[in-house]
Structure 1
Amino acid sequence: MDVLISIKPKYVNEIINGNKKYEFRKHAFKKPVDYIYIYETRPIMKVTHKFKLTDVIIDTPNNIWNKCSSVSGMNLSDFSRYYQNSNKAVAIKIDKLETLEEPLSLSDLDVKQAPQSFIYLNH
């Protein structure tokens, strides 16, 4: 099974540059996942990359920051704002990033709208 996640273009650039090696979420996947497809939000609005899911760390936001900050691709202020009022943080390791030869639209994946967090793909 694969999932689609939305990421702002500035963070996709951090991933491409190798500065961001973890994607942070508030909820873990409940089903087994093979690949994660990246939908770049405005102004790109296309599915541009995918990566293999190899590792997920679930812990408190503070512990996740301590483990992943040097490869987070973001600053503490943005990280803290994202996890404000959360006791749990999920860090998804970005491994074997692939650029799609042709960017995909959401409709190419039978998706009606960009996910807030993530959605499972049936393709």
Structure 2
Amino acid sequence: MSKVDVFMSIKPEYMGDIVLGTKNHEYRKYLLPASVERIWFYTSSPAQELRYIAAISKGKASGEVPEDGGLGNKEFNEGKEGSAYAYEILQLWELGEPMSLEVLKRDGYLKGPPQKYNWVSQGLLSDVKLDGQKLVFTKKSI
């Protein structure tokens, strides 16, 4: 198992906001382990697929997120988001071929949709190389 990559579920509308760049942080109630550098976003129903991978910052607490217009940033800093940690989306890749939940289960990468987060297996890391995917964006500060 990779200790750098995790699967996480996300609603399709939030994933769309990240792709458009209007949402620049992902908010969660929990702190990911310090070793985590990338989130493999499993988009929930109706899509039910793995399509995007994001390089992320370490978890940020309330007050540490720039209020630069990103959806939810101001609310998070004011403690209104309902989440304790924010992960800045630094880079985003789109898979050349999205992987359905059926395929992810069949190939042993997931047992079902991630409930909190799941570690990404070495097998999937070997099968899906980042350098073979479409880079959607990179934050200018990287």
Q: Is the 8 A contact 1:4 1:121 kept in 2?
A: yes
Q: Which ranges of structure 2 fall in alignment gaps of 5 or more residues?
A: 123-142
Q: Post-superposition, which runs of at least 4 consecutive aligned residues in structure 1 deviate over 3 A?
A: 66-69, 73-76
After the TM superposition, which residues 41-56 of structure 1 pair with which residues of structure 2 at under 5 Å, given as runs?
41-56=44-59
Query: Is 1:97 aligned to 2:92, yes or no?
Result: yes
Task: Report the CA distance shift for 1:45/1:104 in structure 2 as closer, same or farther (over 3 A).
Answer: same
Tell me which of 20, 28, 31 is aligned to 2:31. Answer: 28
CA displacement at 1:68 relative to structure 2: 4.5
The whole-number CA distance in structure 2 between the counterparts of 1:74 and 1:41 is: 23
After the TM superposition, which residues 45-84 of structure 1 pair with which residues of structure 2 at under 5 Å, given as runs?
45-59=48-62, 63=63, 67-68=66-67, 70-72=69-71, 80=80, 83=82
Q: CA RMSD in A?
A: 2.6
The structure having more radius of gyration, on CA atoms, is 2
Structure of higher RCO (CA pairs closer than 8 Å, 6+ residues apart): 1
For residue 71 of structure 1, give the secondary structure of its aligned residue in structure 2.
Answer: coil
**Structure 2 length normalisation: TM-score?**
0.67
Aligned AA (1:52): A
The whole-number CA distance in structure 1 between the counterparts of 2:86 and 2:57 is: 11
Q: Is the 8 A contact 2:57 2:88 kept in 1?
A: yes
Percent of residue pairs identical: 28
The whole-number CA distance in structure 2 between the counterparts of 1:110 and 1:68 is: 36
Q: Is the 8 A contact 2:54 2:91 kept in 1?
A: yes
